[in-house]
Amino acid sequence: MMKCLYLVSVVFHVAAGCTLSAYNDQVPSIRNRGDSVLLPCSCSDLNTKPQKLTWGTFRTGRLTEVLNEEHYSGRLQLFNNISPANLSLLISDLRVEDQGYYRCSTEKEYRDIWLPVKGCELVKKKEVERVTVFTGESVVLPCVCTDLQDKPQGLKWEFYRNNHYQEIYPKQTGRHRNRVKL
């Protein structure tokens, strides 16, 4: 009789599959570009594992599976081979474009997690900063991120004269050619 009860218990346990844990704090704090983040997801019963697991994102406007996406190549790590009930996803070397909703899905249910990623924000001045320099001298023009550890992903300097902007970095033309350095 005990063997029969045990067998029924095992069959029910396997049939029930993985029920995802409810995370009260599913919003990771704001991360900076270049950081790593662990997106939490696990089965509530640590002795179960899902028959099917997918991680997806709505980054592009529709749900896309991330585990085989080129954008994440070499930056993702799952932990379910060590602990089958741990379905968490580690994303390394975060990029600003990684920001968005991520979905951990099993065969029965899913959990959505919002990942905020911050890039370089320039220090904003209230007025135009005037710099005086004499002909033939060099000048350093100030431009810094609010977080000094951050590095801008794309950077462009423009020269404004006669109601016209001319790019001088990285594309150097005319009288600014070979004269602008970072």
70 contacts: CB under 8 Å, gap ≥ 6: none
> If pLDDT is split at 50, 70 and 90, which confidence band does 42 have?
very high
Structure token pair of residue 109? 């249910």
Residue linked to tokens 């900063």: 129
Structure token pair of residue 103? 């979905």
Find the distance separating the first CA and the last CA of the chain, reported in whole Å: 79
145 three-state secondary structure: strand
Residues 47 and 10 sit within 8 Å (Cβ to Cβ): no
Q: What domains are defined for the chain?
A: 20-118 (2.60.40.10), 120-182 (no CATH)
Range scoring the smallest mean pLDDT among 22-31, 109-118, 141-150: 22-31
**DSSP notation for 9-47:** HHHHHHHH-PPBPPPS--SPPPEETT--EEE--BBSSTT
144 contacts: CB under 8 Å, gap ≥ 6: 122, 123
- pLDDT, tens digit (0-9, with 9 covering 90-100), for 79-101: 887 888 999 999 999 998 999 99
Ranges of H-type helices in 48-134: none
User: What does the pLDDT read at residue 24?
Assistant: 56
